[in-house]
């Protein structure tokens, strides 16, 4: 299981970006986190060969995020199981991360076989 943002587990933060200037401020080889609805920024990041984590709200967007090569697909609890099942069935290369508020979410994610979790500390 992937755990990003827990103080006992070494991790590389994801850099939440909202525009091109934010991307330019990130360190080389960073993974940028973009809300999938910001498709022009997603296109820019892809054109610059930047590693992506995409926060999605539905199954369609998760399928597209995987198809464009997102390293991580971030999901909220309400859709996590459906998207993880889809990822397992279609052998997604992207890893599914459940957004959790605290370490108690780790158990829930593990019980539902989600690829991993990301805590708030894992996002800069």
Round the average pLDDT of the chain to a whole number and report it: 97
pLDDT at 27: 93
* Mean pLDDT score, 82-86: 98
pLDDT score recorded for residue 88: 98
For the chain, the structural domain boundaries read 2-122
pTM exceeds 0.85, yes or no: yes
**2-122: CATH number:** 3.20.20.70
CA atoms within 13 A on the CB side of 73: 31
């Amino acid at each position: 299981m992937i755990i990003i943002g827990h103080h006992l587990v070494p991790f590389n933060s994801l850099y939440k970006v909202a525009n091109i200037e934010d991307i330019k401020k990130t360190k080389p080889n960073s993974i940028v986190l973009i809300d999938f609805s910001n498709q022009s920024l997603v296109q820019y990041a892809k054109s610059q060969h930047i590693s992506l984590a995409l926060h999605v709200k539905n199954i369609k967007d998760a399928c597209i995020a995987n198809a464009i090569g997102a390293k991580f697909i971030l999901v909220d609890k309400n859709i996590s199981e459906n998207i993880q099942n889809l990822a397992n069935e279609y052998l997604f290369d992207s890893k599914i991360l459940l957004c959790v508020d605290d370490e108690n979410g780790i158990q829930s994610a593990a019980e539902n076989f989600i690829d991993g979790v990301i805590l708030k500390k894992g996002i800069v």
